[in-house]
Structure 1
Amino acid sequence: MGGRDPLRYFRLEARELVDQISAGVLDLDQRPGPEPVGRLLRVAHTLKGAARVVKQKEIADRAHAFEDILVPHRSGDAPLAAEEMRELLRLNDEIAAQVALLEAPPPPEAPEPPEQPAAAAGEPAVRPAAPDPAPVPVSAPQPPPAPEPLSGPGRATTSDLDELLDAIGETNAQMMPLRDGCGTMERLHRSAEALSDQLRAGRSAVDGPVRVSAERLAAELGSASRRFTDAVDQIVRGLDDVRAKAEGLRLVPAGSIFTTLRRAVRDAADAEGRRVRFVSRGADIRMGAHLLSPASGAFLHVVRNAVVHGIEPEPERLTAGKPAEGTVTFEVERRGRWALFRCSDDGRGFDLAALRRTAQERGMLGPGDPPPADRELLDLVLHGGISTSPKVTEVAGRGIGMDAVRDVAAQLHGEVRVRSTPGEGATVELVIPLTLLSMTGLMVEAGGATATVPLDAVRGCLRLSAAEAATATSSGRILYDGSAAPFLPLAEVLYTGDTVPDVPGTGAAVVLNCTAGTLAIGVDRLCGTSALVARPLPDLAPASPIISSVSVEADGRPRLVLDPEGLATEVLRRHGSGAGTAASPAAEPLPVLVVDDSLTTRMLERSILESAGYQVELAASGEEGLEKARASRYGLVLSDIDMPGIDGFTLVERIRADPELSGVPCVLVSSRAGAEDRERGRSAGADAYVVKGEFDQEELLAHIRRLVVRS
């Protein structure tokens, strides 16, 4: 086991197994069945065996008790009783606490005892036996350790990894003379071969031994050149592999914080006597631990508040036509150089009346002040110390939840956004700049320079003939997927203010999706895809807005990573806002109003639109939709047709008849697919008509990008 630290490898294994048990218990709570039970049994059994090997009896006993609860449920789909789930969670917490105690640094090794005098004749030579690793005593159940989803035994610190990456970069740079030496050796080899050929052709002009020596020299130089080149290539590949692994350790998957948040939701729901499901997305997005760790701590408060303040008791949900089980959704997205963390719930939303009373009691609203708008009230939540909970409990009521998010945003130079719809739910978003992220990029060459485009922004690529490239460059547009997209040769923006090198012209177009819409850049050639780690540009190296970050090649050379949003801005600056389907990204789209009497449809459409970056407000009837449209500014109205009272056709007609609203774009979404209904929609003034039976998310978003009004 290693003389200095007999628990070294057990700590590594135990922490990993505890994480698997934590996630497995929460899986079992939501999806009972023999498969998750069997998986948990295997993990618990492995932990029990490992603990017994290193004489950690307390951990082994709890793992055994864990097994005892699960064994009767190895067959059948019946869920575990509530008491059994609580006992599993309690045992899991105690095991985690035990493992956390073992992770404390071991005490310094005691000095060697002084030599004992030699034993007298006939006396046994006795030395004290080294004690076995003592089990950690537990006098009472202990609380689980503070969540540490991003660090564990054996994980190198960020500074250590940065030093390693710097050392690899320096070593790669030092390899440059060796690479040059390979070229020199190859040139010498070719020269020796040429000399040998000349001597052989000269026949008797030179003695035979000289000719033989020249041939031997050429052969030896060729052999040495191959060995030298192979050795250098092997070293470079090894360094590249080490660099890639170190970069991977430097970044952490966002899913590493999901188990902690999921457990927080489960515990809060159990404390409040509610049924709540936790949904997560974006687990594979990798970023620096220094971003994930504070975000995790902040959203622990947010998800608890979503359960306690947002999710209604079951009878109240059923009365409102909602599922008995509430849902808290946590998502992580990467948007260019930004990371977005979003927590949303399908509960009652913020209690605006209670917020107004609390703000007045705290002196945030004066008695003579005009009533604040809903948005202003929600902004007050971010000022801290405001809670609408009537009592302080273990999970909420102190008004510190939004404080934590606000502080993290300030710490990481980010932004917090809060949205709420009464009766529909609330959303809290944290947007922070990325300092290091992993991505797959499309490498392109333009004007002799190589750059990388984030692959998740690439919609497609087109091969262009010389005539097509010339036409696209002169017109500033290119035809793609049936519509004209703005077009700009990449070399023109890479070499702003300089003469573009004389290299082969544009041979391909890369079509990009961005917030503004669809655009295309012209490149000389496509160079394939590669995984990379992007870093921010140094403060002393300002660059064009089309550059988002930089990646470092294996040989230490930097490669520019392009920003699709910056490219869109440049395209519009050169060609104007009417150049194609894109609109100025500097102008934020106004909120979209979704009108539908079906809760399911409203929530689905809201999810689609919010995922695409739009703010969304909801109305459950045509009458409510018309009232909201008259009270606020919207960039677009998305409405169902068949609704009680004012139907979708009538709603669009009344919007068109109102001088204040007549310019608001309207899209009808309906299960009616007949030509007569489509014609009636056009006659009413609808700008687009989408059939639910033929529903295409991309088609809907394309209509909205084309039509939505921006502030």
Structure 2
Amino acid sequence: MSGDPLRYFRIEARELVDQISAGVLDLDQQPGPDLVARLLRFAHTLKGAARVVKQQEIADRAHEFEEVLIPHRTEDAPLATDQMRELLRLNDEIEARVAALEPAPAPGADVPAPPPATGPVAGPVAGQLEPGVPPETAPPPRAATADVDDLLDAIGEAHARFGPLRTGAHALDRLHRTAENLADQLRSARAGGADTARLGALRLAADLSALGRRLTDSVEQVERELDEIRGRAERLRLVAASTVFTALHRAVRDAADGQGKRVRFEGRGGDLRLDPHVLALVNGAFLHVVRNAVAHGIEPAADRAAAGKPAEGTVVVEVERRGRFAAFRCTDDGRGFDVAAIRRAARARGRLAPGAPEPDERALLDLLLRGGISTSAGVTEVSGRGIGLDVARDVADQLDGAVTLGSEAGRGATVELVVPLALLSVQGLVLEAAGTVATVPLDAVRTCVRLLPDQAATAAATGRMAHEGRALPFLSLAGVLYAGAAVPDSGPPGVAVVLAADGEAVAVGVDRLAGTSTLVVRPLPKLAPAAPVIGGVAMDLDGNPRLVLDAQGLVAAARNGRHVQAGAVPAAVERLPILIIDDSLTTRMLERSILESAGYQVDLAASGEEGLTKARARRYGLFLTDIDMPGIDGFTFVARTRADPALSGVPAILVSSRSSAEDRQRGAEVGADAYVVKGEFDQEELLAHIRRLVPS
């Protein structure tokens, strides 16, 4: 038996607790015998499992949970308020005891940081929460990061072993051609044994050809499967947005119970999978936002009836992807923000200058977001909301996001937090255009249409394509990806991919489709600001970045008429190539993309030693080198090229994360012609340096 007897129980118990927590909250809103029966099954399973591993306290509380529910097995009527409170209390105690079974992390282990402390909720909301309410954290991801990293490493190692197989396939192909040449030579021979030798050579060629085809097909199939496995393994690092809905639902329920109100919670967009760190931070902020929406936005039943509203209020939390961003939006159907109270509080606290023009509603809401405004010494219509907004603003600052407020008097308020995506899992359609492979999110694809040559030529020339009785804007993907540089001649696009975003549809011309793939999208670093049509990058099995397109950016580009026809961009002026030296694969590839898009030829080196070897073997117009590399660093590389008469005239640019005056001075002393700091990187600044140093 395993040395940890609770190992499997913890996994099962966590899942059952999650199901019970969500089920109890659903039962509060949608009572019925089916849901009661499902909750009884969960509780009974948990009770039995707990008894097996001698966790009697958990088993006892699961039994008490059953006792509350059993009388309602055949009833459609809602449970009494005290019964719901008892179920929630037992659920909290079970959850706390299951959490206590988690083993302590090993010394030095990488433990995910908890979300920042959000402080107590002001006013009666805090005082009326049940004592067993769990802490304000998002549920932890189900897969340990270390385990996922090990899985990804194993997949990478397995893929590395395909290198010799690919080499072997090429060798077999060469042997096949050699055997065919031998057969041709023997065919013309007149020696007595020539026929036998010729037949043997032909048989060898046939066998080698068949073996080579089988080997190539097998390698390609396994590589496709590994690509899919890697995408799914990376996806394990992400967490579904729905994992925060249960905690938010519970917060709404507790706040409504404390205020004597009836409030329905709805969660939408829960299938979107996001970085768990982002979800944890947003969860901490939105716990305050939804509580205050209930306490100070949703009116009492009598006031709602007088306003012609249903007695039950509604709080909706929606999550949606917007290109490179995720939007979290909380909407209620309450009274909205009390603009007059905000104005009075702002004047009382000196936030509005005497004699200044009266601010409009938008300006007042902006003041509210800045914090420090409370409409009274106690909790009033806006004081509780202010705390939630302070937390939301702090989270936005931490994640480089933004918070916006909306309000309509008597109809409700909206708090929206938009944050950039660090990681995002999507299903993608793999495209190829002019030799470049890219991926577009599959949820933006409406259909794909094969183009005849004359149709492709007309669409590329006019920027419009007829589809289902409409003239859609047409965009050549090759023309956009190679903007400002010569587009490789790959012929007219063979397929139009019809995309939809922001309520508009466009057609994007590509050379071919290469299937679908599960991938994790990463944002582009500040080192390489990209065009709006680029949403991020995903790593392929060889560790190379693959562009992920942004549907909104493509729609905007097509709307603005950027339908560049493949081959229409004039060829770039012939220049000496540029040598990029950096030990980071991602940085090398991104810098190459920037320079090639600007029309430069590029060679790559992964170390200072390799850079010196290449510099002495070919003429270059410029060296672009990192500083911090194993072996020969960037300072040493530049110094050695300056000491070499054959290389001393080649300009050099240092690109580094170092920003101190001492490092800049040292770069100048060794002979660098420019120094670019990665943290302050500007693509146009780099290209301006290159244009100044490399003759056109």
Task: Kindly state the Cα deviation for residue 278 of structure 1 after the two structures are TM-superposed.
Answer: 0.4
Q: Distance in 1 between matches of 2:496 and 2:229?
A: 35
The aligned counterpart of 1:434 is 421
Is structure 2 residue 358 aligned with structure 1 residue 359?
no
Question: CA 1:397–1:415 in structure 2 vs 1: closer, same or farther (change >3 Å)?
Answer: closer
Bigger Cα displacement from structure 2, 418-427 vs 97-106 = 97-106
Task: Say if 1:150 and 1:252, in contact at 8 Å, map to a contact too.
Answer: no
500, 503, 509: which is aligned to 2:487? 500
Q: Distance in 1 between matches of 2:24 and 2:184?
A: 77
Q: Distance in 2 between matches of 1:241 and 1:529?
A: 9
The aligned counterpart of 1:629 is none
Helix, strand or coil: the match of 1:250?
A: coil
Helix, strand or coil: the match of 1:78?
A: coil
Task: Kindly state the Cα deviation for residue 238 of structure 1 after the two structures are TM-superposed.
Answer: 6.1
The aligned counterpart of 2:611 is none
Question: CA 1:385–1:143 in structure 2 vs 1: closer, same or farther (change >3 Å)?
Answer: farther
Task: Kindly state the Cα deviation for residue 103 of structure 1 after the two structures are TM-superposed.
Answer: 1.3
Question: CA 1:411–1:184 in structure 2 vs 1: closer, same or farther (change >3 Å)?
Answer: same
The aligned counterpart of 1:39 is 38
474, 487, 501: which is aligned to 2:474? 487
- Write out per-residue CA displacement over residues 193-246 of structure 1, whole angstroms, 9 at most, x where no aligned residue: 764687699686338997798688668867875786577557646643541332
Q: Distance in 1 between matches of 2:58 and 2:154?
A: 41
- What is the TM-score of this pair, normalised by structure 2? 0.71
Task: Kindly state the Cα deviation for residue 413 of structure 1 after the two structures are TM-superposed.
Answer: 0.7
Task: Kindly state the Cα deviation for residue 460 of structure 1 after the two structures are TM-superposed.
Answer: 4.0
Question: CA 1:460–1:253 in structure 2 vs 1: closer, same or farther (change >3 Å)?
Answer: same
The aligned counterpart of 1:614 is none
Is structure 2 residue 58 aligned with structure 1 residue 59?
yes
Task: Say if 1:387 and 1:398, in contact at 8 Å, map to a contact too.
Answer: no
Task: Kindly state the Cα deviation for residue 435 of structure 1 after the two structures are TM-superposed.
Answer: 2.0
The aligned counterpart of 1:143 is 132
Task: Say if 2:430 and 2:440, in contact at 8 Å, map to a contact too.
Answer: yes
Bigger Cα displacement from structure 2, 350-359 vs 233-242 = 233-242
144, 156, 175: which is aligned to 2:144? 156
How high is the sequence identity, in percent, across the aligned residues?
61
Helix, strand or coil: the match of 1:539?
A: coil
Task: Say if 1:37 and 1:70, in contact at 8 Å, map to a contact too.
Answer: yes
The aligned counterpart of 2:2 is 2
Q: Distance in 1 between matches of 2:516 and 2:221?
A: 22
Q: Distance in 2 between matches of 1:142 and 1:391?
A: 23
Task: Kindly state the Cα deviation for residue 98 of structure 1 after the two structures are TM-superposed.
Answer: 0.7
The aligned counterpart of 2:322 is 335
Task: Kindly state the Cα deviation for residue 365 of structure 1 after the two structures are TM-superposed.
Answer: 2.1
- Write out per-residue CA displacement over residues 443-489 of structure 1, whole angstroms, 9 at most, x where no aligned residue: 33322333222233334444433333322222223334544333232
Is structure 2 residue 18 aligned with structure 1 residue 19?
yes
Q: Distance in 2 between matches of 1:519 and 1:209?
A: 63
Task: Say if 2:187 and 2:194, in contact at 8 Å, map to a contact too.
Answer: no
Bigger Cα displacement from structure 2, 396-405 vs 46-55 = 396-405
The aligned counterpart of 1:88 is 87
Q: Distance in 2 between matches of 1:305 and 1:197?
A: 86
- Write out per-residue CA displacement over residues 642-694 of structure 1, whole angstroms, 9 at most, x where no aligned residue: xxxxxxxxxxxxxxxxxxxxxxxxxxxxxxxxxxxxxxxxxxxxxxxxxxxxx
Task: Kindly state the Cα deviation for residue 260 of structure 1 after the two structures are TM-superposed.
Answer: 0.7
- Write out per-residue CA displacement over residues 159-189 of structure 1, whole angstroms, 9 at most, x where no aligned residue: 6645754664465356334312222124425
Is structure 2 residue 391 aligned with structure 1 residue 404?
yes
Task: Say if 2:186 and 2:194, in contact at 8 Å, map to a contact too.
Answer: no
520, 523, 546: which is aligned to 1:559? 546
**Where do 1:174-213 residues align within 5 Å?**
175-189=162-176, 191-192=178-179, 195=182, 205-206=192-193
Q: Distance in 2 between matches of 1:276 and 1:180?
A: 65
Instruction: Give the aligned residue type for 1:156.
Output: A
**Where do 1:530-569 residues align within 5 Å?**
530-569=517-556
Is structure 2 residue 257 aligned with structure 1 residue 258?
no
Task: Say if 1:389 and 1:397, in contact at 8 Å, map to a contact too.
Answer: no
**Where do 1:215-364 residues align within 5 Å?**
232=219, 236=223, 239-364=226-351
Bigger Cα displacement from structure 2, 365-374 vs 212-221 = 212-221
Bigger Cα displacement from structure 2, 91-100 vs 351-360 = 351-360
Helix, strand or coil: the match of 1:485?
A: strand
Q: Distance in 1 between matches of 2:51 and 2:522?
A: 45
426, 437, 440: which is aligned to 1:450? 437
The aligned counterpart of 2:658 is none
The aligned counterpart of 1:28 is 27
Q: Distance in 2 between matches of 1:227 and 1:466?
A: 34
Q: Distance in 2 between matches of 1:357 and 1:396?
A: 13
The aligned counterpart of 1:70 is 69
Question: CA 1:242–1:478 in structure 2 vs 1: closer, same or farther (change >3 Å)?
Answer: closer
Task: Say if 1:304 and 1:396, in contact at 8 Å, map to a contact too.
Answer: no
Q: Can you give the 5+ residue segments of structure 1 that lack an aligned partner in the other structure?
A: 109-140, 577-711
Question: CA 1:29–1:439 in structure 2 vs 1: closer, same or farther (change >3 Å)?
Answer: same
The aligned counterpart of 1:650 is none
Task: Say if 1:308 and 1:396, in contact at 8 Å, map to a contact too.
Answer: no
Instruction: Give the aligned residue type for 2:237.
Output: R
Question: CA 1:223–1:473 in structure 2 vs 1: closer, same or farther (change >3 Å)?
Answer: closer
Bigger Cα displacement from structure 2, 213-222 vs 59-68 = 213-222
- Write out per-residue CA displacement over residues 369-393 of structure 1, whole angstroms, 9 at most, x where no aligned residue: 3322111111112112334477359
RMSD of Structure 2 on Structure 1 (CA): 3.2
Helix, strand or coil: the match of 2:497?
A: strand
Q: Distance in 2 between matches of 1:566 and 1:417?
A: 22
Task: Kindly state the Cα deviation for residue 310 of structure 1 after the two structures are TM-superposed.
Answer: 0.5
Task: Say if 2:231 and 2:517, in contact at 8 Å, map to a contact too.
Answer: no
Q: Distance in 2 between matches of 1:566 and 1:500?
A: 20
Task: Kindly state the Cα deviation for residue 288 of structure 1 after the two structures are TM-superposed.
Answer: 1.2
Instruction: Give the aligned residue type for 1:17.
Output: L
Q: Give the aligned length.
A: 540
Task: Kindly state the Cα deviation for residue 190 of structure 1 after the two structures are TM-superposed.
Answer: 5.6
Task: Say if 2:137 and 2:283, in contact at 8 Å, map to a contact too.
Answer: no
Q: Distance in 1 between matches of 2:166 and 2:253?
A: 58
Task: Say if 1:385 and 1:400, in contact at 8 Å, map to a contact too.
Answer: no
Task: Say if 1:51 and 1:60, in contact at 8 Å, map to a contact too.
Answer: yes
The aligned counterpart of 1:631 is none
Helix, strand or coil: the match of 2:236?
A: helix
Task: Say if 1:490 and 1:523, in contact at 8 Å, map to a contact too.
Answer: yes
Helix, strand or coil: the match of 1:397?
A: helix
Q: Distance in 2 between matches of 1:434 and 1:415?
A: 13
- Write out per-residue CA displacement over residues 77-106 of structure 1, whole angstroms, 9 at most, x where no aligned residue: 111111111100000000011111111428
Q: Distance in 2 between matches of 1:47 and 1:354?
A: 50
Question: CA 1:41–1:248 in structure 2 vs 1: closer, same or farther (change >3 Å)?
Answer: same
Is structure 2 residue 368 aligned with structure 1 residue 381?
yes
The aligned counterpart of 1:523 is 510
Q: Distance in 1 between matches of 2:376 and 2:176?
A: 83
Task: Say if 2:480 and 2:562, in contact at 8 Å, map to a contact too.
Answer: no
Task: Say if 1:302 and 1:402, in contact at 8 Å, map to a contact too.
Answer: yes
